[in-house]
Structures are given as C-alpha cells and as structure tokens.
C-alpha cells in the first residue's frame, strides 16, 4: 500500500495535537480504523471477514492483559513473565459453570495462554465463552519461554471485522513517539495488503481516544 512513513508520521502528529486541544486529563491511546468499500467486500462471506492476531513492531502502552491457565512450573513462569492472572486447573470448572463469571473472564483479558494439560478443561468449560470472541488460548509446554511469549503478546493486536466492512485497532499511546506509532500503522497496512484487501480500502484514519479522526493520505 502506497503510504509513506513520513506522511503517516505527520498524520499521527496532527492527531496528537488535535487530541490535546480539548484539554483531556487522562493519557490517550492512538487508534486506527481501516474502512473498506462496502460494494467490494461482501462481509456476509466468512472469507471476507478478517479475524487474526497481528504482532506489531513496538509494544503497546499499557500492554494487553494476558490470562494463563495452568499449574506448577507453567504457572510460576507465567506469573514471572507478567501474566495478569493465572488460573489453576482446579478452578476452571467452577468458573465455567457460572455464566456471569465466565463471560466476565472472557471480557477482562485480551489474550489467553494455557499449559498443554489444561487445554481439555479450558475447551470443555470455557470454550464457548472464549471461542465466540476469538480468544481460545494457545497451548504451551512447561519448558516454553513464557517471557518471550508474553513480550510478543505485549505487541499484539487482534484485527477483527464484525458486521461492517471496517476494523479498528490500537496502534499506540501518547507516551510513544510519532515514529513508533507510525511503524505500528505500517505493520497494519502491510497486513491488509498481505491478505489481498488493499485494493478494497476506502480510507484509513488515525485518532487519539477523544480526538478527531485524521485521514491518512497516500
């Protein structure tokens, strides 16, 4: 896709400046939206709905929340690596049997990981709640390098289209530089191109949480 890094960086800088004009008291994030031409993308067909994890070049602030399922060495490593919550195998059934609790769990975390031996329980008791949101955990053996895995998740977003021909992803935070955010945007654009969707793009915008949308120019 023919977007120069300099023009993207300029759009990020403009979004930052206009987002600050409103005197917002909290620290804002940067989000981008990729909009497709409705007539050229029939989202009633599953193959036209993107739903995939994408690893960005620069970590997000704050990092995505990760929950782990497992015991013993796996649980210890997950805690040390920075998992927000570690759930033992014994606790999985009780969570799964409570509709409100399993829905709350699915909504509270961005990504899930699990020890290999915990996956059957996760699938049985939490599969519906997690699977419907595209959040079924990836299984890992006890000897897996969970530090590296967690570092990757801290740079990961989910590109997901629902009922409209568009998707939104977080690409940065005001504590990040314009270039870091622009690099993350480039990664999303490259992803769209790799899926063969580039020619169907209508427009792309970037904005802070409370700021106006700034359209990227080619």
For 155-170, the pLDDT digits (tens) are: 999 999 988 999 999 9
Would you list the DSSP string of 151-177?
A: HHHTTEEEEE--SSSEEEEEEEETTS-
- Domain stops at, among 100, 121, 153: 153
pLDDT at residue number 20: 82
Average pLDDT of the residues in 1-23: 88
181-210 pLDDT tens trace: 999 999 999 999 999 999 999 999 999 999
pLDDT at residue number 159: 94
Helix (H, G, I), strand (E, B) or coil at 64: coil
Tokens found for residue 147:
């530090």
Alpha-carbon gap, residue 175 to 196, rounded angstroms: 33
The count of domains in the chain is 2
Average pLDDT of the residues in 57-72: 96
- Domain stops at, among 153, 184, 204: 153
- Domain stops at, among 136, 153, 170: 153
Q: Are residues 85 and 190 in the same domain?
A: no
Q: Are residues 97 and 46 in the same domain?
A: no
Q: Show the domain range for 24.
A: 5-60+157-215
Alpha-carbon gap, residue 118 to 129, rounded angstroms: 16
Tokens found for residue 210:
């409370």
pLDDT at residue number 73: 94
Residue 110 has pLDDT above 90, yes or no: yes
Q: Are residues 56 and 161 in the same domain?
A: yes
Tokens found for residue 139:
């299984």
Q: Are residues 56 and 9 in the same domain?
A: yes
Contacts of residue 25, defined as CB under 8 A and 6 or more positions apart, other chains included, come to none
30-54 pLDDT tens trace: 999 999 998 888 888 888 889 899 9
Q: Are residues 14 and 37 in the same domain?
A: yes
pLDDT at residue number 77: 96
Q: Are residues 88 and 149 in the same domain?
A: yes
Range of weakest confidence among 71-75, 132-136, 144-148: 132-136
pLDDT at residue number 44: 85
Q: Are residues 98 and 177 in the same domain?
A: no
pLDDT at residue number 186: 97
3-state secondary structure 121-144: HHHHHHHHHHHCCCCCCEEECCCC
Alpha-carbon gap, residue 186 to 191, rounded angstroms: 9
pLDDT at residue number 24: 66
Range of weakest confidence among 13-22, 121-130, 177-186, 198-207: 13-22
């Amino acid at each position: 896709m023919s977007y120069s890094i300099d023009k993207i960086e300029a759009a990020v800088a403009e979004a930052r400046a206009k987002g600050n004009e409103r005197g917002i008291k909290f620290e804002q994030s940067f989000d981008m939206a990729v909009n497709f031409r409705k007539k050229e993308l029939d989202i009633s067909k599953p193959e036209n709905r993107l739903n995939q994890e994408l690893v960005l070049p620069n970590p997000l602030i704050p990092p995505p929340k990760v929950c782990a399922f497992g015991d013993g060495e796996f649980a210890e490593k997950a805690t040390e690596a920075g998992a927000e919550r570690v759930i033992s195998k014994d606790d999985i059934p009780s969570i799964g049997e409570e509709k409100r609790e399993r829905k709350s769990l699915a909504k509270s975390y961005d990504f899930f990981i699990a020890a290999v031996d915990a996956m059957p329980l996760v699938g049985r008791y939490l599969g519906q709640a997690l699977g419907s949101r595209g959040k079924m955990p990836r299984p890992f053996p006890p000897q897996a390098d969970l530090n590296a895995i967690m570092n990757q998740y801290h740079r990961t977003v989910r590109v997901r289209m629902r009922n409209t021909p568009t998707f939104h992803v977080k690409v940065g935070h005001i504590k990040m530089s314009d270039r870091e955010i622009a690099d993350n945007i480039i990664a999303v654009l490259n992803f769209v191109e790799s899926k063969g969707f580039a020619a169907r793009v209508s427009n792309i915008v970037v904005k802070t949480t409370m700021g106006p949308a700034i359209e990227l120019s080619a």
